[in-house]
Homo-oligomer: A and B are copies of this chain.
C-alpha cells in the first residue's frame, strides 16, 4: 500500500481519492476548500495543511486541478512538488492541461528524480463515482507501470498512449470529439422536436445505430429534460477547446468542426452559462432557432 498525496478534491478528485482510500491506501488530501478534505477524512483519509505537507512523506502525488497554471504552481512554487517531494516520488497528474506544459513539467521533474506521469481522465462525474474512468496515460514505461495499479483503482480503461505529454494530447482530441458530439445531439434533438417527434423513442433508436455514442447514452435523457447541472462545466470545456485549437494550429492540422464548436462553446460561456453542464449547448441551439423555452 502506498502513501498518496492527493491534491484537488473537487467533483472528480473527491470520488477518485475515496476509491484509493477504500483500496487501502494511506491518502493525504489537500484542497482549497476545507469541506472536501473533511469528507475525505471521514472516509478514512488524512488532512494535509498545505501542499508541502501533503507531498513530503508521499510515495505518490496525484494532482487533479482545473488548468495548466494550477499544475505549474503545484510543481514549481516554493511549497510545491519539486521543492518538497522525495526523489523517486511518482507524480501522476490527472488534470487536463496543455501537452507542452505537461512535457515541460516532466523534464523539470526528471531532473529532480521525480517520476512524471500525465494521466488525464474522461467519463465525467458518474465515471469518477463508479470508478469507470477512461484514462489516457503518458510517460516512461516503468513510471506508467508503477502508476497503473492506482489508475486501475479509479478507472476501467487505462491505456499507455506514449511518452510524457501524450496523455494530454489524447485528452485534447477527446475533448474535441465530446464537444462536437454534444452539439450534434443538440442539433438533432431540436430538429426532432420542431417536427413533433417523440424524442424518447428517437433517442432509443438513434442509440442503436451508427449514431450511437456515449454522449447520447449518458446525456440524452438529461438533455431532453433540460437538466444542466454539472457534470462537466462549460468553463472547463472552453478551456480544453482552447488547448486543442492551439495545439492543432501549432501542428498545422485542420479541425474545421472542432474550431466551429469551440466558437459555440465560447459563445455559451460569454452569455454567462459557464457553470452549466456542457450539454447546455442544447439551449443555445434552441435560442438560435427561436425556440428558447
Contact = CB atoms under 8 A, between A and B. Distances in A.
Contacts of A207: 134, 157
Interface stretch (A105-113, A221-229, A263-271): A263-271
Interface stretch (A2-10, A71-79, A240-248): A240-248
A180 B213 CA distance: 12
A201 interface: yes
A210 interface: yes
Interface residues on A, range: 35 or more
Contacts of A34: none
A186 to B, nearest CB: 9
B263 A123 contact: no
What 10 A-B pairs have minimum CB-CB distances, sorted nearest first? A122-B209, A157-B208, A134-B209, A134-B208, A252-B270, A213-B213, A254-B288, A159-B205, A173-B188, A271-B290
21 contacts: A136-B205, A156-B208, A162-B201, A173-B206, A177-B184, A177-B211, A178-B211, A180-B180, A180-B181, A184-B257, A187-B253, A191-B251, A194-B253, A210-B215, A213-B215, A252-B270, A257-B257, A257-B261, A259-B263, A271-B287, A272-B290
Given A123-B210, A253-B291, A256-B264, 15 more contacts: A122-B211, A134-B206, A157-B204, A157-B208, A161-B198, A161-B202, A162-B201, A176-B187, A181-B211, A187-B248, A194-B251, A195-B247, A210-B218, A212-B214, A253-B289
